[in-house]
Amino acid sequence: MKPAHTAVRVRLSTPILPLLAAALLLLDIFSTNKVWLVLLVGLGGMWLVSWAWARSLARNLTLLREIRFGWAHVGDVVEERFTLINDGWAPGIWVEVLDRSTMPSYDPSRVSGVDRYSETRWQTKGLCVRRGLYMLGPTILSCQDPFGVYRVEKDYPAFSTMAVVPPVLPLPMIEIAPGGKAGDGRSRTDAPERTVDASGVRDYVPGDSLRWIHWRTSARTGSLHVRLFDGTPVGDWWIFVDMDAAHQAGTGENSTEEHAAMLAASLANRGIEEGRAVGLVSEGEQGLIWLPPREGMAQMWEILRALAMIKPGVRTLEELLSRLNPRDSARSSVIIVTPNVEGRWLNPLLELAQRGIRPTVLLLDPSSYGGEKGAGGISAQLTEQEITGYILTRESLDRPELHPGAVAQFKWKTTPRGRAIMTEAPDLTWKTLL
């Protein structure tokens, strides 16, 4: 939130009023008819009441604006609470709240009223339909006296930034080629891959192979468990997101740009949950994004924030791959998300593979997004070079979870017995914006 001083303006809405009062005064002076005096007194009395009314509203009318969530995924609901407070004797009959937020498809502006020495409260909700960094506020409060003589405006320049990040979805159909060989890299004790000996069990998470489920423990506890194996290396993940504007296809939510951001966010979340160090490389309209692999949720938030703001640029994928130093990324997995099916980036990728870096390519088929070329040719080249690759179409990524309003603020998991258990709840407290 950016605090700032509230500016108050009281201005005359009817400039003709002073001219009319002056004309009545002249008529009263130069005429013996008492009608002009009565009209002048009545006009002056109305003017005085309007002035006092407007002054009371300017001094005693305040707006409190609160937001429940500081950030959200695409499809989440942004929720705000407004409280209109009147500590004066003059009621606000017609009070207009004008919002200047930049979030698309969300406008909490409304007209309300508030009685004297009271308050009015209401809540607004809107869908987060597009990723990005948006501004909630500033806000303008506008009202008038009953006669419409004076207009009172109060500017609340305070605003809060809200990041709408790509949705994070389970991607069980995608297997990442592991970096290094057994015994290399940082060893882990919770890897669900067969290497040497089983060392224990852990809870099942989406994406685990069903082959490693420990059925005896699962039957005893009532929830799925998988076996743990020693000796599996933990390789870092480098996620490359191709934002070259020349190869993007589709529009709006159903575009390679949006689906690439969603895939990168979901893969980063999987890697962080597996205890890996995950990094992000991309370049778009905002410049180069280079986040070296790190572990933990702080890194996850940095990745999500970067993906929320990235837009297509002019940097090619081959230029991005050439920036990766093989010595600093030995035994790493490189994950490429790209709609580029021309394949000029294949040569620098093969050079990295020859130096021990294991690539996995996620091809967003541009033909399914309305583009002219398909991904069949480049997919065959990847298979010939023994590089793990997946062709992803718009239809395969048009998941119900991506639709606005479908991503819940609460996360649940279902046990094999059908019992729903809440695993994560958002912070439901209200944060003051104004």
Q: How far is CA 325 from CA 51, 137, 328, in A?
A: 72, 44, 5
Q: How many CB atoms lie within 10 A of CB 410?
A: 10
Q: How far is CA 125 from CA 72, 75, 166, in A?
A: 13, 12, 19
- Distance of alpha carbon 377 from alpha carbon 374, whole angstroms: 7
Q: 326: pLDDT confidence band, cut at 50, 70 and 90? A: low
Helix or strand or coil: residue 2? coil
Per-residue pLDDT at 389: 92
Structure token pair of residue 406: 């479908």
- Distance of alpha carbon 33 from alpha carbon 27, whole angstroms: 9
Could you give the percent of the chain with pLDDT greater than 90? 47
Q: Residue 120: phi, psi to the nearest 5?
A: -125, 135
pLDDT at residue 193 is higher than 60: no
pLDDT at residue 325 is higher than 90: no
Per-residue model confidence as pLDDT tens digits over 6-37: 899 999 988 777 778 777 777 767 777 778 77
Average pLDDT in the 337-341 region?
95
Structure token pair of residue 297: 């949720």
- Distance of alpha carbon 245 from alpha carbon 150, whole angstroms: 52
Per-residue pLDDT at 420: 43
Helix or strand or coil: residue 231? coil
Structure token pair of residue 329: 């990324």
Per-residue model confidence as pLDDT tens digits over 373-398: 888 889 899 999 889 999 999 988 87
Give the residue with greater pLDDT, 405 vs 285.
285
Pairing, β 61-67 against β 77-86: antiparallel
Sheet with 278-284, edge to edge strand ranges: 287-294, 278-284, 237-241, 333-338, 358-364, 388-392
Contact 305, 165 (CB under 8 A): yes
DSSP structure class, residue 166: P
* Residue 157, preceding peptide bond in cis (omega within 30° of 0): no
Nearest to 260 by CA among 353, 362, 359: 362
Nearest to 362 by CA among 392, 340, 402, 387: 392
Structure token pair of residue 20: 């009319």
Give 109's strand partners.
none
pTM score of the predicted model: 0.73
Q: Which domains does the chain have, with CATH numbers?
A: 7-165 (2.60.40.10), 192-233 (no CATH), 235-398 (3.40.50.410)
DSSP structure class, residue 70: S
Contact 80, 86 (CB under 8 A): no
Per-residue pLDDT at 399: 63
DSSP structure class, residue 115: -
Angle at 30 between CA 26 and CA 33, to 5 degrees: 100
- Three-state secondary structure readout of 175-210: CCCCCCCCCCCEEECCECCCCCCEEEEEECCCCCCH
Contact 293, 316 (CB under 8 A): no
pLDDT at residue 104 is higher than 50: yes
DSSP structure class, residue 91: -
Per-residue model confidence as pLDDT tens digits over 58-100: 999 999 999 887 788 888 889 999 999 999 999 999 999 999 9
Q: Which amino acid is at 407?
A: V
Q: 49: pLDDT confidence band, cut at 50, 70 and 90? A: very high
